[in-house]
Amino acid sequence: MIRRILALTSGRIALGLLAAVALLAVFGPLLAPQDPLEGTADILASPSGAHLLGTDYLGRDVLSRLLDGSRVSVLGAVQVALIALVVGVVPGILSVYLGRPFEWVTLRLADTLVALPFLVFAVAVTALLGNGIPQAMFVVGIMVSPLFYRVARAATLSVARSPYVEAAIVAGASVGWVVRKHVWVKVLPPIAVALANTTGVGFVIVSSLTFLGIGVQPPAPTWGGVLASDLGYLSFQPWAPLAPTALIMATVWACNLLADAIRDVTGEAGQALLNRRKVANGSPVAP
């Protein structure tokens, strides 16, 4: 799948941007030119050689705060996606095989979670368990999990009615064996698309919560927190919100672009792309 994605221009762009964001998350705090928490007398300074993106209302270097805050923003988004993946996919697949009672209960739980406002619950949980990104993202991941549940369930239903799957069950194959050998291969592509989309949603949620001051302890930097601090001084620095906004938008756009690329290479368009590459290499094309 990775090779097919890299064969698309959109896939290369998306993976390149996400790789850059991942590198920022890993090395960003080390690359910060100054202490992101240390204030100076140079308040609301314009971009210069000493401060490439200027300083905020406390004289802290904005570039250093964005680099240092990238780790929290990225890890929060990944945590949302992984929790939603685990909580949603397993019940979605098993709901097809474990009988009507399990199916009914999981469907009602999914409907209930869809109806609940996840931002409100994230705020409530952080108030109960402490103001931290892991607590907030755990709740948000559970609230987003119905997306994975429905995707996994729909994909499993399409495979479960296949003659070879029914034949395997009649022959005495266990549910686990059927899922590993037949179902998972068919369910993986739509789940990969949902995972890429959910990661982008996770970035938006993390940025929204940190913009409101939820999930982080001041003065810890985050992309949303830097954006919030900039908006209070637009009359002095009208350009200040551009950098954090560009980071958030580019990351979310890359996630959505990757989701589109995965969808393209795993459907009929993906088979057509594979056939064109076989023709170019002189290999026979399957009918």
Write the pLDDT tens digit of every residue in 91-146: 988 888 888 899 899 999 988 888 877 777 777 777 776 667 777 788 888 888 99
First CA to last CA distance, the chain = 20
Q: Does residue 121 belong to any structural domain of this protein? A: yes
Chain centroid to CA 19: 13
User: Domain span at residue 161?
Assistant: 25-31+53-271
Q: Is the model's pLDDT at 247 over the cut of 80?
A: yes
Q: Does residue 3 belong to any structural domain of this protein? A: no
Q: What is the pLDDT of residues 138-169, one digit of tens each?
A: 888 888 899 899 988 888 888 877 787 777 77
Query: What is the C-alpha separation between 247 and 72, in angstroms, rounded?
Result: 14
89: exposed, middle or buried (Cβ count in 10 Å: 0-12, 13-18, 19+): buried
58: helix, strand or coil: coil
Q: What CATH number does the domain containing 103 carry?
A: 1.10.3720.10
Q: Does residue 174 belong to any structural domain of this protein? A: yes
Q: Does residue 217 belong to any structural domain of this protein? A: yes
Q: What is the pLDDT of residues 19-77, one digit of tens each?
A: 999 998 899 888 888 888 888 888 888 888 888 888 888 888 889 999 998 988 888 88
Beta bridge partners of 198: none
Query: What is the C-alpha separation between 40 and 155, in angstroms, rounded?
Result: 56
Domain count, the chain: 1
52: helix, strand or coil: coil
Q: What is the pLDDT of residues 202-217, one digit of tens each?
A: 888 888 888 887 777 7
Using pLDDT thresholds of 50, 70 and 90, give the confidence band for residue 282: low
User: Cα torsion for 229, 233, 239, 245, to the nearest 10°?
Assistant: 30
Closest by CA to 83, choosing from 124, 44, 138, 129, is 138
Q: Does residue 62 belong to any structural domain of this protein? A: yes
Q: Does residue 157 belong to any structural domain of this protein? A: yes
Q: Does residue 20 belong to any structural domain of this protein? A: no
Phi, psi (degrees; rounded to nearest 5) at 106: -65, -35
